[in-house]
Amino acid sequence: MGEEVKVIVFALGNEEYGIEVDKVRTIERLSPITRVPKTAAFIKGVINLRGVVVPIIDLRGRFNLTETQPTENSRIIVVAVGEIEVGFIVDSANDVIDIDTDSIDLPPEIVGGIKAKYLRGIAKLGEGRLLIMLNLSEVLNKNEIVQLAQIEA
């Protein structure tokens, strides 16, 4: 057995994804988002989270999935990437689980229409359940991080 990593499980459509707990700052209900002009379409705007301006990204838009209307279960997962905090809109945040790092395989080229560069790997959880592990540094590439840093400032 390898090391275990704690992961927050969230959903986009029918797929389950994971982000390591140590990268997650907080999970919030959707709150009003202030639009920011001249940003990529998937950057929905910013929220004021306890006095901190946090850029908000719709992960569905980021991954070129069909965007849907938020529901009662929609959440914003606030993650830290380097010095920047960013919120991801997800359909739901369901669980915190421990995953054996040995059960995480390299991602295939495309999973559910999402390019492999956004993925750290696929975790096999048993009973045919797969968890798509995100590679946060690619989900937010350097140019976008610069753009988001400018929004924060």
Q: Which of 5-14, 33-42, 128-137 has the highest mean pLDDT?
A: 5-14
**Predicted confidence band at 41 (pLDDT cuts at 50, 70, 90)?**
confident
Instruction: For residue 36, name the pLDDT band (cuts at 50, 70, 90).
Output: confident
Q: Both tokens of residue 98?
A: 């421990």
Where on the phi/psi map is residue 126: left (φ > 0), alpha (ψ -120 to 50), or beta?
A: left
80-126 residue pLDDT tens: 877 788 999 999 998 999 999 889 888 776 655 556 677 888 898 88
Single pTM value for the model? 0.86
Domains present along the chain, CATH in parentheses: 4-148 (2.40.50.180)
- Number of neighbouring beta carbons within 10 Å of residue 7: 25
Above 80 in pLDDT, residue 138? no
How many C-beta atoms lie closer than 10 Å to residue 52's C-beta? Answer: 12
Specify the amino acid at residue 31.
Answer: S
